[in-house]
Structure 1
């Protein structure tokens, strides 16, 4: 069995990225309604990183460092928020500016937006794209945040959206409404509709729009048939390991009209599992010095008894989703989304500073995910669980399979090292090139196998844990 270690992947990928520098072409939904593409029809490789506090917390030197690292790792989309969740209306950015005058969305502070401009231009220069939330969902009336005053009305939501759409209509941006909040009243729905209408009018309907919901929910619940919603986002969230994100994908494939979809927030690498339960037991002040320090860095991991999500949890949701029809993948790291660092405010205690966390294993493995999507044509994959022979349980060992229209290429992901038995309907003995792809290290092992009609067993290399089986018809 031949082993290939594709060290050239990173070099090739950087060449591809730099060809795109300066491009501001807007993405469009593909005719198949399964993914998004460039105007020329090239499928877009959507691999995002959730950097929610990017505009709010980082200075320009830090922005440059973060974005450059993410570009080199193979990311293509950066998620961030203009009106950030945590003190985003009152705590100034790195240059002493708040986003709005008197917290009025109809009165943006242009000095704040000069820094937003800088970030957007830097993103464009690196060949990346931004998925921008105009505001986090806590600024719009919702049950989770309770009875209090909210800054948005239908009127100023339209005005704010129109301002954003017009200011950035020629930039490589995808707009994402919401922000970890569900829509539980008519007023909120009207506000989100008006915000979308404002963005559409300001941008001359040039840019895609979606909605980011709360955990274990979907934009489709409220907006699937809204004309402004170009693709759906769901969030599997951080409550437990092996949440069956593939079931969300299966449900979205059945919706009418058909729209692309992806998991906008699966479990973040290094975040404590069900963190909110541990942080509600005692006040943060009581835990400083025993569980974490004043910068939010965890010094007692054992306090979080359920443990932390790892790079394997990231890979599991990524490949489950892609082989179930998702148009791409969203990565997140607990330290990076909030940019934990000395002297910076934090929300959820972290294992690392953001500078340390940007090179954590899950982020470094993104280049292998991108290689898989490009090498084996994610846009032509058709989910097909009928290929799996025998019992395929839900949970940590669940197998996902996809093929293409003529079944000349079959892709199968297993989250654990186990035999994969496929039900291949062939008219005669067929020779397949068999590849085992290691999503952790990027290694590929090849062999040839004569496959007969009926159940055929494939056994992963012993050194691989989760892995992908790729069958390619020999011509």
Structure 2
């Protein structure tokens, strides 16, 4: 399996010269929490669903579920926090075995190097400062990570859930980039941003091969799905863009607000991202899988953004939204879509939640319609076939467009939930 590359138009990813759709699953806490038997089952299921990438933290995820397993990347000091001078080889051997199994199933690994709680001055480290890696031990930690995982040709995600608050924090991230360059690493590199953040320092944007953002789990911030895509797809230097952390299925709203993101909400997040400039792919997350919560054990070791309790992984792995995300990859593969260009000016409607994009040659036009309505488009689309995909059930219907006085009208579709319209 060859490493991923960036397309010549800097809009999508490729593998062996063909478009590669980044359909990732969020499994940050895999290396500490999952038995090899559970891992084998997990890989089989996600492969069946069409996933291509696994997003994993190389070190211990701070808000993972409690685990009876012995895996920890570093010995613990007397205060119970990691002693970063004492790596535990058993942990890295176990993680490497998991990587071999994932690669054998055809997955690309996206491995986080430094989660924000381990970097001084970040929002997460302010909550529990003792997690910070001492500066004089940083090179040793980075070297251990790269020595352990380079052979699997991963995408390195230099930062996790990061902001850029101080020069000290930025120095940690730069050290991670610099060491990769010194080692001659040829794979892709990126940074995972804190929720709703789009302001990347030029220093790092120049070193990233693609931009990823998270629209996240804040119930009032879901417009970030398309707003962040618009910002990052238009910034320089131009890079492919991915929403690598939309709202997770059955995640409670952040800051312990009452409510959860259901199947419709996560579908909406995916398609609004894909049609607004973040067309290189999308990441799924199931609440209970990303933190790998086991029945009967504490759901989390640290609160982080304070989410409501998850289902155990035995149930969360089977949430239906994972199949919906697999369908997004199927659409891109079936229609041979590599790049989509937003064309929002075509929608004669006041709601920005309706998103529209076209292929560069304009042979296809895709529209995400979250709520049923008669839709008016600026321009003549009357000569095109219009197929409506009911995203909840996969039923399809053919619609007949009409053109008059400079606008095309698409009638209401016959379904009850959100649809993807493909004009061909």
Write out aligned runs for 1:123-272 (5 A): 123-144=102-123, 145-146=125-126, 148-154=129-135, 156-202=137-183, 204-218=184-198, 220-222=199-201, 225-240=204-219, 242-272=222-252
Normalised by the length of structure 2, the TM-score is 0.89
Assess if the C-alpha contact under 8 Å between 1:157 and 1:192 holds in 2: no
SS of residue matched to 1:133: strand
Comparing 148-157 with 375-384, which one deviates more in the overlay?
A: 148-157
**Which position in structure 2 is the counterpart of 1:64?**
40
1:182 Cα deviation (Å)?
1.3
**Which position in structure 1 is the counterpart of 2:303?**
none
**Which position in structure 2 is the counterpart of 1:33?**
10
C-alpha change, 1:97 and 1:362, in structure 2 (3 Å) is closer
Query: What is the CA deviation profile of residues 241-282 of structure 1, one whole-angstrom value per residue up to 9, with x for unaligned ones?
Result: 6424211111112211111121221111111123x245xxxx
Question: Alignment partner for residue 330 of structure 1, among 256, 267, 283?
Answer: 283
Query: What is the CA deviation profile of residues 29-53 of structure 1, one whole-angstrom value per residue up to 9, with x for unaligned ones?
Result: 1111111111x31111111111111
- C-alpha distance in 1 between matches for 2:195 and 2:182: 30
Query: What is the CA deviation profile of residues 365-414 of structure 1, one whole-angstrom value per residue up to 9, with x for unaligned ones?
Result: 2221111121233323211112112x3224xxx21111123322111111
Assess if the C-alpha contact under 8 Å between 1:169 and 1:206 holds in 2: no
Structure 1 position 435 matched with structure 2 position 398: no
- C-alpha distance in 2 between matches for 1:469 and 1:312: 16
- C-alpha distance in 2 between matches for 1:155 and 1:452: 70
1:224 Cα deviation (Å)?
6.0
Structure 1 position 414 matched with structure 2 position 414: no
Assess if the C-alpha contact under 8 Å between 2:402 and 2:408 holds in 1: no
Q: CA RMSD in A?
A: 2.4
- C-alpha distance in 1 between matches for 2:62 and 2:118: 11
SS of residue matched to 1:74: coil
SS of residue matched to 1:431: coil
- C-alpha distance in 2 between matches for 1:119 and 1:76: 16
Comparing 163-172 with 331-340, which one deviates more in the overlay?
A: 163-172
- C-alpha distance in 2 between matches for 1:251 and 1:224: 18
Question: Alignment partner for residue 341 of structure 2, among 375, 379, 382?
Answer: 382
**Which position in structure 1 is the counterpart of 2:304?**
none
Write out aligned runs for 1:78-89 (5 A): 78-86=54-62
**Which position in structure 1 is the counterpart of 2:294?**
341
- C-alpha distance in 1 between matches for 2:391 and 2:181: 39
- C-alpha distance in 2 between matches for 1:214 and 1:53: 18
Q: Structure 2, unaligned stretches of length 5 or more?
A: 301-306
Assess if the C-alpha contact under 8 Å between 2:22 and 2:281 holds in 1: yes
Comparing 449-458 with 134-143, which one deviates more in the overlay?
A: 449-458
- C-alpha distance in 2 between matches for 1:399 and 1:368: 19
Comparing 357-366 with 138-147, which one deviates more in the overlay?
A: 138-147
1:454 Cα deviation (Å)?
2.0
- C-alpha distance in 1 between matches for 2:312 and 2:95: 23
Assess if the C-alpha contact under 8 Å between 2:118 and 2:133 holds in 1: yes
Q: Structure 1, unaligned stretches of length 5 or more?
A: 1-22, 279-303
- C-alpha distance in 1 between matches for 2:207 and 2:143: 14
- C-alpha distance in 2 between matches for 1:222 and 1:343: 43
1:107 Cα deviation (Å)?
4.6
- C-alpha distance in 1 between matches for 2:297 and 2:154: 28
C-alpha change, 1:434 and 1:380, in structure 2 (3 Å) is same
**Which position in structure 2 is the counterpart of 1:293?**
none
SS of residue matched to 2:28: coil
Q: Would you say how many aligned residue pairs link Structure 1 and Structure 2?
A: 408
Comparing 349-358 with 163-172, which one deviates more in the overlay?
A: 163-172
C-alpha change, 1:404 and 1:148, in structure 2 (3 Å) is closer
**Which position in structure 2 is the counterpart of 1:404?**
359
1:136 Cα deviation (Å)?
2.1
Assess if the C-alpha contact under 8 Å between 1:158 and 1:199 holds in 2: no
